[in-house]
């Protein structure tokens, strides 16, 4: 059982605006895993950030980052609810950090919901072919494939990737934290990554 520190509770509280006792309970339930604790609070309807995440977000800005040497660049459209928040230093820094993350982590999609069904099926077929080469019993293949697909989403989906400036936190957790501290819904609408000579 992971030790729940006051710092962990403080960070979760800042990210979700949930009560101290609720944050402690969520972290205990999630055995210290920040992302799972956020999810727990969302499921219980205790996270103010989760409630804000359903609101319209049509303002915002495009964050940009050009890697030193100008051979790679990233652009991310980050939306919020008001122009006021879009102009804050925190929001602008978030947008730039996300553009930098796109350059470094090379995501292919914003979220798992954006991954086309045929791409998922192709990946499952690869995993199935790999399992056929092993001596693992066929009746557990589906469970193994499900786990591999989950891990694959973590590699290709921006929101599920470990954030480059803090690998202990996913981009999704960073977004929830920003929603909690800025008090508005924030979402990543789309991104683009350019590399010199790339396709």
The answer to whether residue 1 is domain-embedded is no
CATH number of the domain encompassing residue 22 = 1.10.8.10
Q: Give the integer Cα–Cα distance in Å for 37 and 15.
A: 11
Q: Give the integer Cα–Cα distance in Å for 84 and 81.
A: 9
Residues 21 and 80 in one domain: no
pLDDT in tens, the chain (199 residues): 567 888 888 888 777 767 777 888 888 888 888 888 888 877 766 555 555 555 666 789 999 999 999 999 999 999 998 889 999 999 999 999 999 999 999 999 999 999 999 999 999 999 888 888 888 887 888 888 889 999 999 999 999 999 999 999 999 999 988 988 888 889 999 999 999 887 5
What domain count does the chain have? 3
pTM (two decimals): 0.70
Q: Give the integer Cα–Cα distance in Å for 73 and 55.
A: 30
Whether the Cβ atoms of residue 120 and residue 148 lie closer than 8 Å to each other: no
Q: What is the pLDDT of residue 100?
A: 97
Residue 127: which of 108, 152, 109, 107 has the closest Cα?
152
Buried b (16+ CB within 10 A) or exposed e, 128-137: eeebeeeeee
Residues 103 and 146 in one domain: no
Residues 41 and 120 in one domain: no
Residues 150 and 180 in one domain: no
């Amino acid at each position: 059982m992971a030790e729940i520190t006051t710092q962990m509770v403080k960070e979760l509280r800042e990210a979700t605006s949930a009560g101290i006792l609720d944050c402690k309970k969520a972290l205990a339930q999630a055995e210290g895993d920040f992302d799972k604790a956020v999810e727990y609070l969302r499921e219980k309807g205790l996270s103010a950030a989760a409630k804000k995440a359903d609101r319209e977000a049509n303002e915002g800005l495009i964050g940009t980052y050009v890697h030193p040497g100008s051979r790679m660049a990233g652009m991310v459209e980050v939306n919020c609810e008001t122009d006021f928040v879009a102009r804050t230093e925190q929001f602008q820094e978030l947008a730039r950090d996300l553009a930098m993350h796109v350059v470094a982590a090379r995501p292919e999609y914003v979220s798992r919901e954006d991954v086309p069904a045929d791409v998922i099926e192709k990946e499952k077929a690869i995993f199935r072919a790999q399992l056929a080469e092993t001596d693992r019993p066929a009746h557990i293949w589906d469970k193994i494939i499900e786990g591999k697909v989950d891990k694959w989403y973590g590699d290709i989906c921006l929101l599920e990737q470990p954030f480059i400036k803090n690998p202990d936190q996913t981009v999704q957790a960073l977004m929830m934290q920003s929603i909690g501290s800025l008090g508005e819904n924030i979402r990543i609408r789309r991104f683009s990554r350019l590399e010199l000579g790339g396709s």
